[in-house]
Amino acid sequence: MNKRLGLLIHHYRPEVAELATRAIKWCGTSIDAVLPELDADLVGRPDLGIAEDQFGPGLDACLSLGGDGTILRASALVAGFGVPILGVNAGHLGYLAEVDPSDMETALDAWLDGRMPTERRMMVDVWADDGKRWVGRALNEAVIDHAESGQAVEVSVSIGGRDFITFLADGMIVATPTGSTAYSLSAGGPIVEPDFRTLLLTPVAAHTVFNRPMVLAPDTEVTLTIEGHRGAIVAIDGQTCLDLQPGQSVVCRASDVEACFLVRGRRDFHLVLKEKFGLTDH
* Tens digit of each residue's pLDDT (9 = 90 or more) over 232-250: 999 999 999 999 999 999 9
CB 200 within 8 A of CB 176: yes
234: amino acid identity, one letter:
V
Of the candidates 32, 53, 68, 109, the residue annotated as catalytic is: 68
What pLDDT sits at residue 272? Answer: 72
Ranges under pLDDT 50 in the chain:
none
What pLDDT sits at residue 278? Answer: 74
**Using CA atoms, how far apart are residues 101 and 89, in angstroms rounded to an integer?**
7
What pLDDT sits at residue 107? Answer: 97
Domains parsed from the chain with CATH numbers: 3-117+263-276 (3.40.50.10330), 124-256 (2.60.200.30)
Q: Is 39 a catalytic residue?
A: no
What pLDDT sits at residue 98? Answer: 79
What pLDDT sits at residue 200? Answer: 98
pTM, two decimals, is 0.92
